[in-house]
Amino acid sequence: MRKFIIVLIVLFVIWGIPGCTKGEEKSLFNAGIYEGSAAGGYEDEVRLEVTFSKNKIRDIRIIKHKETKGVSDAAFARIPNAIIEKQSLDVDIVTGATYSSNAIIDAVKDAVEKAGGDVSALMAKQESAKPIEKGLKSMEADVIVIGAGGAGLAAAVSAHQNGASVIVIEKMPIVGGNTIICGASYNAVDPSRQKPLGIEDSTDKHFKQTYEGGDKLGKPEMIRVLVDNAYPAIQWLEGLGMEFRDITFTVLGGLWPRAHKPVMPLGTGFITTYMDYINSHDDIEVLVDTKAVKIIKENGRVTGVVADTPENKITFKANKGVVIATGGFSSNIAMRDKYNKMWPELTRMKTTNHAGAMGDGLILAEAVGANLIGLEHIQLLPMGDPETGSLLGNIEQNVENRIFVNKNGNRFVDEGARRDVMTLALLNQEDSYMYIILDTHSYPSEDVKNNFNESMTELLSKGKAVKASSLEELAAKINVDPENLKNAVDSFNKSVDSGKPDLFGRTLYQDRIDKPPYYAGARKPTVHHTMGGIEINTEAQVLDKNGNIIPGLYAAGEVTGGIHGTNRLGGNALPDITVFGRIAGKSAALTR
Ligand code: ADP
């Protein structure tokens, strides 16, 4: 009996209190064997079986296909191996066997989804990200970057452009972090794209909306750097080969049509651009499966990082500086609960974030004296998939052309408002549940994709969208009062015609909702972004609790605080991580 109690106590200590996180990483996949299928080239199906371990695609076995023999052989021989070798779905198509190649990739995607994996996270080139060599005890570079998301990779490329040798360490088996799975809306004042659309804008307006949208708690000097450098950072990315579309639009909670959209889906364009640079240069590399566990500080200066790898501990010596770019803590339930003061309860709420967003950087930085600020400011979105919390399946295109209705079919908020305002309003509706309602203006054809690379055809087939030829039919399908839904749409249409603020104060309008078919998609609140974090200055140097610089230590991205205040504007995360990542890399490289 005593033994049993001791075992129980030990288990309790290891696993923590039930209901809290264990402080361990979640995995990329639910381990097991999953079937995947996709339409093949000639009206037939490719069916296969994929074996997943917690963090890897282990094996792909073709069960059935009727693709033309000879033509498709090379695809079946090469594509599965390439996917396993690279742990990426972005593999080269076999020339002459395009249909079969794509069918195999699509079938593996299907299996990845069934295994609870995130397809978009596997869409970037991963090839130069490699695990560490066996037996290695230490490595050295001018700049060591912790985290291979958007901020870390921007810092790495920028440090290298400024003459430094660079090693990026990434704890997950793949690069990209939250950045690769985000909607990729990037706010920047850009007359070349905004003027042709008749959009007036200025960096002062971007500043004002960012500052006031965060209840004036963001540091003005940091916001100034953000808004002034957002467009130059787009030009920098374009110089590295990244392409953006010609449009700008208003993203959820973005307050103004200044969001840019990359040509490549989700955040894959950013990560692929950085990885292409890293692949084609010497003295810069990314090591995956390498988790920073300690920052080394000697005589008041940061000089390196200790990291755990599957093999052993490794010391990374930084001749010039260490950049912390580990992202936020939305996936760490215990940490969320510890700091949350804004919301009634977050323990059971799902998140949009990847499994690695555990707040490691905050713990690493605090251990060497860094000041942490604004940790209570946690951003929720009203846009989570009701089952998973993910942004996938979100049918909206832009703010102007859709409304939200609750389970009674009534509107309840200005759908162009701040994210915290909309989410709070949603939390007060029955079951915190709403439907986005829009029409053909948003989907001129069902091939049109949402911001997460899903076509309306796909959204309908996955049950994420419901379609109807009249509002009455739509109301019946989503089980809301038809009169209420009709009134909601009518009142919205009147405001579109008048262009005047409506009873909720909404001012952002474009088209009426009056062109069937109509579509609806269900959504719930989800944890999205943690605004607080490590305090830095405009040079991305980390500050201690007395406001002094910690020599050799830099930080950028979601791990930092002090920029967005209580509420980050939609579309401001990517300029933040790019602008400050770029500054952090340069500052570290130019350290004497
Ligand atoms: P940001 O948007 O600020 O760049 P991301 O979430 O995109 O944030 O990227 C942060 C990256 O840092 C993720 O890939 C995450 O797995 C990685 N990371 C987090 N903690 C550690 C750690 N302790 N060691 C190495 N990498 C880490």
Q: Phi and psi for 541 in degrees, rounded to 5?
A: -85, 140
Task: Among 122, 158, 168, 171, name the best residue to mutate to test ligand 1's pocket (greatest count of ligand atoms within 8 A of Cβ).
Answer: 171
- Least confident range of 72-81, 277-286, 413-422, 537-546: 72-81
* Alpha helices, DSSP H, located in 16-97: 73-86
Q: Ligand 1 — pocket residues by CB below 6 A?
A: 146-152, 169-172, 177-179, 291-292, 325-327, 356-357, 360, 557-559, 577
The answer, yes or no, to whether residue 425 has pLDDT greater than 60, is: yes
Confidence of residue 522 (pLDDT cuts 50, 70, 90): very high
Residue 42: its pLDDT value, please? 58
Q: Helix or strand or coil: residue 111?
A: helix
Among 375, 423, 330, 363, smallest CA distance to 531 is for 375
What's the token pair of residue 446? 């069902």
The strand order across the sheet containing 533-535 reads: 372-373, 533-535, 560-561
Sign of CA dihedral 581, 21, 124, 295: positive
- Whole-number Å distance between alpha carbons of 541 and 433: 42
Confidence of residue 15 (pLDDT cuts 50, 70, 90): very low
Task: Yes or no: say if 551 and 303 are a contact pair by the CB < 8 Å rule.
Answer: no
Residue 25: its pLDDT value, please? 56
Q: What is the mean pLDDT of residues 43-67?
A: 85
> Higher model confidence: residue 135 or residue 407?
407
Q: What is the mean pLDDT of residues 459-479?
A: 97
Residue 3: its pLDDT value, please? 37
Q: Helix or strand or coil: residue 78?
A: helix
**All residues at 6 or more sequence positions from 159 whose CB lies less than 8 Å from its CB, including other chains:** 142, 143, 145, 166, 323, 585, 586, 588, 589
CA of 47 to the centre of ligand 1 (A): 35
Atom of ligand 1 nearest to the CA of 326: 12
Residue 587: its pLDDT value, please? 98
Q: pLDDT above 90 covers what percent of the chain?
A: 78
Residue 379: its pLDDT value, please? 97
- Whole-number Å distance between alpha carbons of 436 and 472: 16
Confidence of residue 17 (pLDDT cuts 50, 70, 90): very low
Residue 188: its pLDDT value, please? 98
Residue 588: its pLDDT value, please? 98
Confidence of residue 505 (pLDDT cuts 50, 70, 90): very high
**3-class secondary structure for 324-373?**
ECCCCCCCCHHHHHHHCCCCCCCCCCCECCCCCCCCHHHHHHHCCCECEE
Residue 132: its pLDDT value, please? 72
Could you give the dihedral angle defined by the CA atoms of residues 503, 507, 512 and 517, in that order, rounded to the nearest 10 degrees?
A: -90
Residue 12: its pLDDT value, please? 30
The answer, yes or no, to whether residue 112 has pLDDT greater than 60, is: yes
CA of 410 to the centre of ligand 1 (A): 40
> Higher model confidence: residue 19 or residue 42?
42
Where is mean pLDDT largest: 20-24, 52-56, 352-356, 551-555?
A: 551-555
Beta strands in 176-290 (DSSP E): 186-187, 259-260, 284-288
**Which residue is catalytic, options 258, 419, 506, 568?**
419
Q: Phi and psi for 166 in degrees, rounded to 5?
A: -140, 135
Q: Phi and psi for 53 in degrees, rounded to 5?
A: -95, -175
What confidence tens digit (pLDDT) does each residue in 346-368 have?
999 999 999 899 999 999 999 99
Q: What is the mean pLDDT of residues 278-293?
A: 95
Q: What is the mean pLDDT of residues 478-503?
A: 96
Q: Helix or strand or coil: residue 277?
A: helix
Confidence of residue 395 (pLDDT cuts 50, 70, 90): very high
The answer, yes or no, to whether residue 43 has pLDDT greater than 70, is: no
Among 414, 401, 470, smallest CA distance to 442 is for 401
The answer, yes or no, to whether residue 440 has pLDDT greater than 90, is: yes
- Whole-number Å distance between alpha carbons of 542 and 553: 6
Residue 23: its pLDDT value, please? 39
CA of 177 to the centre of ligand 1 (A): 5
Q: Helix or strand or coil: residue 480?
A: coil
The answer, yes or no, to whether residue 470 has pLDDT greater than 50, is: yes
Amino acid code (one letter) for 554: Y
CA of 539 to the centre of ligand 1 (A): 20
- Whole-number Å distance between alpha carbons of 72 and 585: 46
Task: Yes or no: say if 146 and 325 are a contact pair by the CB < 8 Å rule.
Answer: yes
What confidence tens digit (pLDDT) does each residue in 177-231 have?
999 989 899 999 999 999 999 999 999 999 999 999 999 999 999 999 999 999 9
Relative to beta strand 138-146, strand 466-468 is unpaired
Supply the DSSP string of 52-74, one letter for each residue.
E-SS-EEEEEEEE--PPTTTTHH
Residue 544: its pLDDT value, please? 98
Task: Yes or no: say if 128 and 282 are a contact pair by the CB < 8 Å rule.
Answer: no
What confidence tens digit (pLDDT) does each residue in 138-174 have?
999 999 999 999 999 999 999 999 999 999 999 998 8
What confidence tens digit (pLDDT) does each residue in 300-328 have?
999 999 999 988 899 999 999 999 999 99
| pLDDT mean across residues, the chain | 91
- Whole-number Å distance between alpha carbons of 55 and 119: 13
Task: Among 132, 158, 170, 308, name the best residue to mutate to test ligand 1's pocket (greatest count of ligand atoms within 8 A of Cβ).
Answer: 170
What confidence tens digit (pLDDT) does each residue in 257-268 have?
999 999 998 999
Supply the DSSP string of 373-387, one letter for each residue.
E-TT-EEEEEEE-TT
Catalytic residue flag (residue 402): no
